[in-house]
Chain A
Amino acid sequence: MLTLTPLETEALRLSLLVSVTAVVGSLPFGIGVAWLLARVNFPGKSLLDGIVHLPLVLPPVAVGYLLLVTMGRHGLIGAWLHDVLGVTFAFNWKGAALASAVISFPLLVRAVRLSIEQVDRGVEAAAATLGAGPWAVFFTVTLPLALPGIAAGIILAFARSLSEFGATITFVASIPGETRTLPVALFAVTQNAGGDSEALRLCILSVALALLTLLVAERLAKRLERRMRGQPHA
């Protein structure tokens, strides 16, 4: 029971690879968009806010389908990426990561935006009077002080990516060793007659991974919170 089958190891490895890639890849964009929404007033702000939140309310299958028509090999953007940059997201793990990134993006942006809104603009102003330009203020004041929220956003997005299924299977299907992450693998075995014990094992593995993620997140959040408040380590 404690040793994983090659199929399970493969699914776990893929899940982690896809989720980490999704979060790392979307983080800079997430922070950028969150900062824009938190600090800048511009025409079309509500529209951007709406688009960012769309994956949260759309059925994941719809998101997967939209990805298929835009980012697939014959999609509008996908074809261009393939011809010009030689990159393709169709039916490979990168596509699974893209699907996870899009689905989890609103969660990331929400958490980061909230924490940026909490950063005292007075402290940012003080840093400016001390000679820090806008970028320096962002990297030495705003970003570090928003870190607890950014960490929360990362955890949320990571957890959402781990459980991503609908958009993934629609966009990149269920290819063993390529796009068959834990949830996709779980779905695949439930389709086989007599796959009950396999399904149960994959299910337990998913639960264990989710719990571990949440525990680590809790610990990290507490530590960061203390540091940012300028208080001594407990």
Chain B
Amino acid sequence: MLDISLQKRHDDFILDLSFQTAAPEITALFGRSGSGKSSLVRLLAGLDRPDDGHIRLDGATLFDRAAGIDMPTHNRRVGLVFQDSRLLPHYGVRGNLLYGFKRTPDAERFVALDEVVELLGLEKLLDRRVGALSGGEKQRVAIGRALLASPRLLLMDEPLAALDGARKAELLDYVARLAAHFRLPILYVSHSPEEILRVAGRMVLIEGGKALAEGPVEAVMSRADFAAAAGSRTLVTIVTATIEGHDSDRQTSRLAWNGHHIDVPRLDLATGSAVRARIPADHVILALKPVEGLSVRNQVPGRVLSLSPAGALVDVAIDVGTPLHAELTPDACRELGLEPGKDVMALIKSAAIDAAAVSLRPG
């Protein structure tokens, strides 16, 4: 359990945020650049001193202004993986990996070198010098090094920002694997919704130095302020589903979600894999009863939860087991007589659904 309430005045903005997050799982910190994510990471690691507030982690107090507690960085046991690796250039890979390990008391160690080497695929790198590593290799060593110091909390500050696409996917798998393996709470800073969808269970939305929302990724990403922070005009609904099967004739994959089935463009993943799908609200069409003779593949029955204005449109939330967002014109809402409690069919075009693999542990 991580409990944060922090205030810090910077030259150009004021960080003032509070949130709690339950361990152990990956919690993403999402926000635009300059929103205060990296500033928060530095405060948590003890690299900067907050003006006020507290940081508590599993009952231990790392910082508490009122109580006069400010644990120095080297005693916090908060691991930090930087965007730019920051490996020790005068140590080899093995030296970097063991740097924190050697400084951790036996009783507090939860992992040994061999285990980390195997998890992160570092066998071949062990005797190399760090100057000879590629970007992805450096980040794997940086993650391994942080893990070997047996942290109580692992902070990852945009760890993939310097990597190309293929390396990103590979490293995301490693991140998800180690979170599950060690049951280690991870705060994952990112401004990429794709990365967050892939690894995080929960997320905190940060904007202008404040935490706007904290909760499951599905719930936070469906919010209007998330869409704004992500630079998108329309709301999205995030559904976490499993692949039920593939239809090679129609080039689609069928997803099972909340007892519903939806077809999406074919995914190159095994049956049974977990995926998260993004359904843009402007691609959800509402009908009062099932419609025949239509190209739209997916029809999901639900009940209207609420209607709220969203710019010139109306955001209609439909309960289909979880809330599904549709954006309609006020005119259309009137014509259909939409009001909370009314039964509707939600029609979703397969091609509009953007589904991707999830590396995180299901459930």
Contact = CB atoms under 8 A, between A and B. Distances in A.
Nearest to B155: A129
A127 B145 CA distance: 10
Given A126-B80, A128-B47, A230 B89 contact: yes
Interface stretch (A117-125, A154-162, A201-209): A117-125
A33 to B, nearest CB: 24
B86 A136 contact: no
Contacts of B75: 131
Given A126-B86, A229-B89, A230-B131, A132 B78 contact: no
A130 interface: yes
Contacts of B77: 131
A73 B80 CA distance: 57
B89 A133 contact: no
Given A122-B82, A123-B86, A133 B72 contact: yes
Contact of B84 (A122, A127, A231, A232): A122
A123 B88 CA distance: 6
A228 interface: yes
B104 to A, nearest CB: 6
Nearest to B83: A122
A145 interface: yes
Contacts of B145: 130
B73 A125 contact: yes
A136 B47 contact: no
A141 B99 CA distance: 11
A127 B99 contact: yes
B132 interface: yes
Interface in B219-240: none
Interface string B123-153: 0000001111000000000000110010000
Nearest to B85: A126
A134 B75 CA distance: 11
B146 A231 contact: no
A144 B90 CA distance: 8
Which of A131, A133, A144, A228 gathers the greatest number of chain B CB atoms within 10 Å? A131
A129 B90 contact: no
A25 B46 CA distance: 37
B113 to A, nearest CB: 14
Which of A120, A123, A129, A228 gathers the greatest number of chain B CB atoms within 10 Å? A129
A128 B131 contact: no
Interface in B58-95: 72-80, 82, 84, 86-91
Interface string B102-120: 0110000000000000000
A128 B72 CA distance: 9
Interface residues of A, number: 25
Contacts of A137: 74
A24 B271 CA distance: 71
Contacts of B86: 120, 122-123, 125-126
Interface in A125-177: 125-134, 136-137, 140-141, 144-145
A229 B130 CA distance: 9
Which of B72, B75, B79, B88 gathers the greatest number of chain A CB atoms within 10 Å? B88
A60 B158 CA distance: 56
Nearest to A132: B74
Nearest to B84: A122
A97 to B, nearest CB: 32
Given A126-B82, A232-B129, A131 B90 contact: no
Contacts of B78: 129
Nearest to B76: A129
B88 A129 contact: no
A227 interface: yes
A105 to B, nearest CB: 27
Nearest to B145: A130
B275 interface: no
A232 B131 contact: yes
A22 to B, nearest CB: 28
Interface string B25-58: 0000000000000000000011100000000000
Interface of B: 45-47, 72-80, 82, 84, 86-91, 99-100, 103-104, 129-132, 145-146, 149
Nearest 4 interchain pairs by C-beta? A130-B100, A230-B89, A230-B131, A131-B103
Interface of A: 120, 122-123, 125-134, 136-137, 140-141, 144-145, 227-232
Given A130-B145, A140-B99, A232-B129, 17 more contacts: A123-B87, A126-B88, A127-B99, A128-B47, A128-B72, A129-B78, A129-B79, A129-B100, A129-B146, A129-B149, A130-B103, A131-B103, A132-B74, A133-B72, A140-B88, A229-B131, A230-B90
16 contacts: A123-B86, A125-B45, A125-B47, A128-B46, A128-B47, A128-B72, A129-B76, A130-B103, A131-B100, A132-B100, A133-B74, A134-B74, A140-B99, A145-B90, A231-B131, A231-B132
